[in-house]
Amino acid sequence: MSYKFSKEELKQLLIDYNEIALKEAKIEVPKQACIWDETLRDGEQSPTVYLTLDEKIHLTKMMDEIGVKLIAVGFPAVSESEKNIVKTIIKEECKNATILSIARPRKDDIDACIEADAEEIVVFMPVSPIFMKTLKLTEQDQLDRIKEAIHYAKDNGLKVNWVSEDGTRAEYNHLKNVFSTAIEAGAERIVIGDTVGVLTPHSTTYLIRRLREEVIEPLKKKVYMAIHTHNDFGLAVANTITGVIEGCEYPHTCINGYGERAGNAALEEVAVILERLGIETNIKLDKLPELSEVCEKYFCKPLSQYKPIVGDYAFSHESGLHIAAILAHPLTYEPMNPKTVGRRRKFYLGKFSGTKSIIHALQNKIKVLDLDIPEEIIRKIVNEVKIKHETTSKEDLRKSFDIIKEELKKITKGVSDRDFFEIVNKYAQPYIPEGHPVKPKDQKAAKDLYP
């Protein structure tokens, strides 16, 4: 299909303030960023989600094939089952990605990683004042534990990454000392964790730039920085991109933005934006929709139709004005070619459709290119389409909506209060004295406590 504007004209017609801003600020962005994915670890912590071993292996292989560099797959110290899952995934021997297991700065946690055959681990600890008070640790206690744990891991042949959990609420001098201690002990990458998603792009710039200038740049050896963000205020992707621009070459992501509470930075969004900024990720962008769809199925967490990149409506249009402009050239109302990310453009007919929409539909839906349809007939078709859309029963739509909402509750309910009470009652009854209010005399009374 031929368009109204040539490539040369588009260069003059599309102003790129992303490029202008970076150039005027004299910021040298990294040439490359390596995706570090947390879907199988942090993503699985989404409420009510659990993945089978086969599902974890499949997602690992898919991420490996599309170019993800690091994949965190689990926490071996949690249980024997989790340790075996991590061990099994490691045995799959990815072609491109490195498999990571995680541990607290404790000998038994690190031993569990070793028993899972891990070659590279992630050691983490919350370093903010509120967590230190909760854990009853002083700043020096933390520094000592970090040094001891990393030395122990290194002595056992492990590569180590250090994560400062809740680092974005930590006192700066302590955060700086934590990172310096981790690096001196042998950590090859350091990760700043925005654990409750409180940063903005402005504060991300401030914090990462200061850490880079005061901790990383004075070093005589190469140590990489990474950033782990949460989406509590809808800024996970923005903060991650900002972190990369400031020097975090290993952005943490989760497929579809899954994760605890409001989720994490979405892999597909982070990868596409970085590529648009000229930062190479080695991600096969056209494979992202398939990865997203498989993950959505395994998580049983339906995506919004408005989800960027992979949502049903991401490259869809109904407005007649928009469609007319897109037919002149897609970049009028689309920031990129859908084919870049394995998608296709869709036109919808409805209330906002215009003559251009109908003509396009006639040409593409019913293949009447050789017919000369009078303009007045086109107008009648346009009006009929609008009327058909506007007279669609809202009552029927709401019924469908209510059914969908109820079905969603079924797949996200987790363990109910009643289920929990029955499990507790099954095992705890022998230890509850007669006459205690939580020891009903009959089964019906027990169920009535949690109807």
Asked if pLDDT for residue 449 goes beyond 50, the answer is: no
User: pLDDT band at 323, cuts 50/70/90?
Assistant: low
HEC states along the chain?
Answer: CCCCCCHHHHHHHCCCHHHHHHHHCCCCCCCECCCEECCCCCHHHCCCCCCCHHHHHHHHHHHHHHCCCEEEEECHHHCHHHHHHHHHHHHCCCCCCEEEEEECCCHHHHHHHHHCCCCEEEEEEECCHHHHHHHCCCHHHHHHHHHHHHHHHHHCCCEEEEEEECHHHCCHHHHHHHHHHHHHHCCCEEEEEECCCCCCHHHHHHHHHHHHHHHHCCCCCCCEEEEEEECCCCCHHHHHHHHHHCCEEEEEEEHHHCCCCCCECEHHHHHHHHHHCCCECCCCHHHHHHHHHHHHHHHCCCCCCCCCCCCCCCCEECCHHHHHHHHHCHHHCCCCCHHHHCCCCEECCCCCCCHHHHHHHHHHCCCCCCCCCCHHHHHHHHHHHHHHHHCCCHHHHHHHHHHHHHHHHHHCCCCCHHHHHHHHHHHHHHHCCCCCCCCCCCHHHHHHHCC
**What are 97-114's pLDDT values in tens digits?**
999 999 999 999 999 999
User: pLDDT band at 345, cuts 50/70/90?
Assistant: confident
pLDDT of residue 379: 66
Asked if pLDDT for residue 423 goes beyond 80, the answer is: no
Q: What is the mean pLDDT of the chain?
A: 86
**What are 114-147's pLDDT values in tens digits?**
999 999 999 999 999 999 999 999 999 999 999 9
pLDDT of residue 38: 97
Q: Which residue has the higher pLDDT, 15 or 419?
A: 15
Asked if pLDDT for residue 441 goes beyond 60, the answer is: no
**What are 380-417's pLDDT values in tens digits?**
766 676 566 556 666 777 788 788 778 777 776 666 66
What percentage of the chain exceeds 90 in pLDDT? 63
User: pLDDT band at 265, cuts 50/70/90?
Assistant: very high
What are the structural domains, with CATH classification, of the chain? 30-299 (3.20.20.70), 316-394 (no CATH), 415-451 (no CATH)
